[in-house]
């Protein structure tokens, strides 16, 4: 992903890093290397992964109250 600063705010990284047990630097590195995804909306997430009870293809995911979803694929 390019231009991470235009998509992700540092406060979002700090909040989500606690869920994934990573620090913000690690999160940025994973996002840059496409090992972590950021979806601007739940609709974009559902378009890619569908609406399921569990997501076997993801190690973990987190939805923020502003609608952004962070995912870490397996």
Instruction: Give bridge partners of residue 70 from the DSSP assignment.
Output: 38, 62
At residue 64, the 3 state secondary structure works out as: coil
What pLDDT, on the 0 to 100 scale, is given for residue 2? 63
Residue 1, pLDDT score: 57
Instruction: Specify the pLDDT at position 3.
Output: 75
Provide the token pair at 27.
Answer: 């999160």
CA distance 51 to 2: 27
pLDDT higher than 90, residue 5 = no
Which residues are CB-contacts of 48 (< 8 A; sequence separation ≥ 6)? 39
pLDDT in tens, 23-63: 999 999 999 999 999 999 999 999 999 999 889 999 999 99
Give me the domain span that covers residue 11: 4-73
- What is the total count of domains within the chain? 1
pTM, whole model, 2 decimals?
0.88
Residue 40: what pLDDT?
A: 93
Q: Look at residues 72, 27, 29, 33 and name the one whose alpha carbon lies nearest to residue 49.
A: 72
């Amino acid at each position: 992903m390019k231009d991470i600063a235009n998509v992700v705010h540092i406060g979002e990284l700090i909040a989500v890093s606690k869920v994934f047990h990573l620090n913000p630097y690690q999160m940025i590195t994973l996002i840059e290397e496409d090992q972590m995804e950021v979806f601007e909306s739940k609709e974009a997430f559902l378009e890619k992964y569908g609406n399921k009870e569990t997501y076997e293809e993801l190690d973990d995911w987190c939805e923020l109250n502003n609608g952004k979803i962070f995912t870490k694929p397996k």
